[in-house]
């Protein structure tokens, strides 16, 4: 969770059903992912429920919630820019087979229109990006 610099919005991560979520609740349960037994860092559920983690923002005055990311990937490690351009950064693994290749990259997200762009494209994992106070640099 991350407060906007002006204190008027909160960005947060929440799960949404993927295209395969219904298959994970039936009897028999259909396992559609390689990573089907999550560990403690992934919630310690019995089996993967085919939910995906996405970024949402809530406007405190209007109490309106908007979903900013979607799709078949998970986002986490959110930070918000204090600069004049309201953007956030996060990490996501957008590899075709993300359960087998743990390759998290940093992405930038413009809050106003949910425009998203990849900032890193390495063969390594980036975690917990932090934006500088002026929003010009990412650590």
pLDDT in tens, 94-124: 888 877 777 889 998 888 898 999 999 988 8
**Hey, which CATH number is domain 2-118, 3.40.50.970, 2.30.300.10, 2.120.10.30, 1.10.3720.10?**
2.120.10.30
**CA–CA separation, 137 and 118 (whole Å):** 15
**Which of 16-20, 42-46, 66-70 has the least mean pLDDT?**
42-46
Q: What percent of the chain has pLDDT over 90?
A: 22
Tell me which long-range contacts 22-25 makes (C-beta under 8 A, separation of at least 24).
23/50, 24/48, 24/49, 24/50, 25/49
Average pLDDT in the chain: 80
pLDDT of residue 132: 80
pTM above 0.85, yes or no: no
Q: Mean pLDDT throughout 83-88?
A: 67
């Amino acid at each position: 969770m991350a407060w906007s610099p002006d204190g008027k919005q909160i960005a947060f991560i929440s799960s949404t059903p993927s295209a395969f979520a219904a298959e994970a609740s039936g009897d028999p349960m259909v396992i559609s992912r390689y990573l089907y037994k999550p560990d403690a860092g992934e919630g310690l559920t019995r089996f993967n429920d085919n939910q995906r983690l996405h970024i949402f923002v809530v406007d405190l005055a209007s109490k309106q919630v908007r979903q900013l990311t979607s799709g078949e990937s998970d986002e986490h490690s959110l930070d918000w820019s204090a600069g004049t351009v309201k953007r956030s950064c996060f990490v996501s693994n957008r590899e075709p087979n993300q359960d087998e290749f743990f390759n998290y990259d940093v992405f930038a997200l413009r809050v106003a229109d949910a425009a998203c762009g990849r900032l890193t494209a390495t063969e390594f994992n980036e975690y917990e990006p932090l934006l500088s106070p002026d929003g010009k640099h990412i650590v």
